[in-house]
Structure 1
Amino acid sequence: MAGTRRVTVSTDAHGHTTGWADATAVGPTPTDPRAAAFFDVDNTMMRGASIYWFARGLAARRYFTTGDLARFAWQQTRYRVLATEHAGDMSQARQAALAFVEGWRVGDVERLAEEIFDELMAPRIWAGTRRLAQRHLDAGQRVWLVSAAPVEIGRVIAARLGLTGAIGTVAEVVDGTYTGRLVGELMHGPAKAEAVSQLATVEGLDLPRCTAYSDSSNDLPMLTAVGRAVAVNPDGALLRVARERGWEVRDFRTGRRAARIAVPSTAALGLLAGAVSAGRALHRRRRPA
């Protein structure tokens, strides 16, 4: 895979910078070009956090030590029981987003993301959510993923699912290599709504005709930025809001799985920062040439 980056970076009149990537170089022309659907990824499109599964795939390839992954898994279990996403997580999450890709080639990240998606993420895609996305595609609308993960990883997931593209966290790239600095903000909370608005302006979308899907109350800014909001596998706070506002609710969890507290995306990024820090020396030694 070539190391050429395929990311559009946009800055609005208020100075908000965001980025997105098309899943394919040339896609079909939508028959309903003014409408689109936006899907959160973690716990909405797939079970768990995409960045966690990516880290687990790297550990299997010895980019992390077994001990690093064990500590990461223990922390994930702890967050399943105790953690919720909140503003206090964001500095740790931002650090993770920076540390995670520093020094990597863009092409290497995308190649590994493709391999790891097929191995670990594809079996965890919610079939029900995937069907919802397909309905929009069948209606001639574009479908975008919106994730706090690096936009290149989001693009790979979108491509594998046959979707239009992905909005995600944009890390600075110089000469095909990540510098460890962010372009804009971590794609979380209000940043998702700002990104959706910017993409709508560039792509000529009519937001009142668009739909957004998420599991988390942290995505309320995105859910309220469009004409139709759908709560998918919702956390307690989002479920309450959805019921109050008469939003559609889709829950694809069953039995014990429905009772679990899923790993929040920012918590997963924060946990990843610890794993990256602990395994940094080995990580650098084994980074693809």
Structure 2
Amino acid sequence: MNPPGQHRSHPGPPSDLRRRSTLAGEAAAASAEVEVALSVPVDPTAAAFFDVDNTVMQGASIFHLAKGLYKRKFFRTSDILGAMYKQAWFRIVGVEDPEHIADARNSALSFIAGHTVTELEELGEEIFDEVMAHRIWPGTRALAQRHLDEGQRVWLITAAPIEIASIIARRLGLTGALGTVAEHQDGVYTGRLVGELLHGPAKAAAVRAIAEHQELDLSRCSAYSDSINDLPMLSLVGDPVAINPDPALRAHARDHGWQVRDYRTGRKAARIGLLTGAVGGAAAGGIAAALAARNRPHA
């Protein structure tokens, strides 16, 4: 509760949100630099960027991770109820209210403070084997492999935490991953994000940063996603592809002559995919901000 005479603070103006999105993108790109150093592509000016949830993997990776962490008593139900409400509001209602986003971020981050990066990474490896590996879409995996075979780098780019994104990329033999970045000190989470979630405009900022660092020609690059929220990223590249698209992205792709690939089968599968993005994402979305990591420089 605020002290008498004081009003609840509100997020900054749109320019501040844009700044935080840019910061999130740059932080994600910087954290991925070590991955780049490990390989020299045959085709150095082209790359492919893949969203994860419902694009590479059936369902929401953060939802699968959250379930696994809950089973291991990483957090309590009461820790995330408030964050779930805020995420549900802007995922289902479709209004990304800046105040709700800020509240969701702050409440979601509170319960990971004190957990170690090593702890999350080790649990993430276990959870990938248990519930994620068999949910990889074979068709999307084949597309990623095609880019690798052509000598291009292939990146995952997701709002999920960088730890789990990196695990998925490594297990699939990809170049690396860009994910939501939160700070830690001496290997322990502080409970604060670096910038915003790697979502929407922040993904586009991350792609731009990678392109600048690696001297990529974006007109020769490809991007893949299921969600209209990734339109800023898809619009950056010369080869945007809609994978298992939501209705809005399908319509946009059709109107602009983009490729569409749908690996779901039947109306039931399509409904499941949409529900996972809206309800499943809302249930675990409050944790997405919390379970990210790489450290932010301190003064």
Bin of the TM-score, shorter chain as denominator length: 0.7 to 0.9
Which segment is superposed worse, 83-92 or 39-48?
Answer: 83-92
Q: Distance in 1 between matches of 2:130 and 2:242?
A: 28
Range that drifts further, 258-267 or 18-27: 18-27
Q: Does 1:83 align with 2:95?
A: no
Q: Deviations over 1:191-212 (max 9, x none)?
A: 1001100111111111111000
After superposition, where does 1:212-251 map in structure 2 within 5 Å? 212-251=223-262
Task: Give, in angstroms, the shift of residue 268 of structure 1.
Answer: 4.4
Aligned partner of 1:207 in structure 2 is: 218
Give the C-alpha shift of residue 144 in structure 1: 0.4
How many angstroms does 1:104 deviate by? Answer: 1.6
Aligned equivalent of 1:279: none
Distance in 2 separating the partners of 1:268 and 1:92: 15
Paired position in structure 1 for 2:277:
263
Amino acid of the structure 2 residue aligned with 1:249: V
The structure where strand makes up a greater share of residues is 1
2:131 matches 1:120 = yes
| SS at structure 2 position matched to 1:143 | strand
Is 1:135 the counterpart of 2:146 in the alignment?
Answer: yes
- Counterpart Cα distance in 2 of 1:68 and 1:103: 17
Contact 1:38/1:146 (CA < 8 Å) preserved in 2? yes
Q: Structure 2 length normalisation: TM-score?
A: 0.76
Cα separation, 2, equivalents of 1:57 and 1:40: 21
Amino acid of the structure 1 residue aligned with 2:168: I
Judging changes above 3 Å, is the alpha-carbon distance between structure 1 residues 85 and 45 closer, same or farther for their aligned structure 2 residues?
farther
Structure 2: distance between partners of 1:23 and 1:253: 35
Matches within 5 A, 1:78-227: 83=92, 86-88=95-97, 90-95=101-106, 98-99=109-110, 101-227=112-238
Q: CA deviation at 1:141?
A: 0.3
How many Å separate the matches in 2 of 1:32 and 1:233?
28
CA distance in 1: counterparts of 2:103 and 2:59, whole angstroms: 19
Cα drift, residue 107 of structure 1: 1.2
Deviation of 1:123 (Å)? 1.0
Question: Which consecutive aligned stretches of 4+ in structure 1 deviate over 6 angstroms post-superposition?
Answer: none
Whole-Å separation in 2 of the counterparts to 1:61 and 1:185: 27
For normalisation by structure 1, the TM-score amounts to 0.79
Distance apart, 1:242 and its partner CA? 0.2
Task: Point out where structure 1 has 5 or more consecutive residues left out of the alignment.
Answer: 1-10, 277-289
* 8 Å CA contact retained: 2:36, 2:175: no
Q: Does structure 1 conserve the Cα–Cα contact (< 8 Å) formed by 2:63 and 2:281?
A: no
Q: CA deviation at 1:26?
A: 5.9
- CA deviations 1:153-199 (Å, max 9, x no partner) are 21111111111111111101111111011112210001100110011
Pick which of 244-253 and 111-120 moved more: 111-120
Query: Which deviates more, 192-201 or 82-91?
Result: 82-91
Take 1:85 and 1:213, find their aligned partners in 2: how far apart are those partners? 22
**Would the alpha carbon gap of residues 64 and 178 (structure 1) be closer, same or farther in structure 2, given more than 3 Å must change?**
closer
1:280 aligned partner:
none
Q: Deviations over 1:41-68 (max 9, x none)?
A: 1111111111111111112223346x77
Residues 135, 190 of structure 1: CA spacing in aligned structure 2 closer, same or farther, 3 A cutoff?
same
2:53 paired with 1:38: no
Distance 1:182 1:197 in 2: 20
Contact 2:184-2:190 within 8 A present in 1 as well: yes
SS of residue paired to 1:87: coil
Q: Report % sequence identity.
A: 55
Q: Distance in 1 between matches of 2:39 and 2:285?
A: 37
Give the distance between the partners of 1:96 and 1:163, measured in 2 at CA: 33
Task: State the distance in 2 between where 1:170 and 1:213 align.
Answer: 21
User: Structure 2 stretches of 5 or more lacking a match?
Assistant: 1-18, 292-299
Q: 2:170 and 2:94 mapped to 1: Cα distance?
A: 28
Q: Deviations over 1:106-125 (max 9, x none)?
A: 11111111111111111111
Worse-superposed segment, 82-91 or 211-220: 82-91
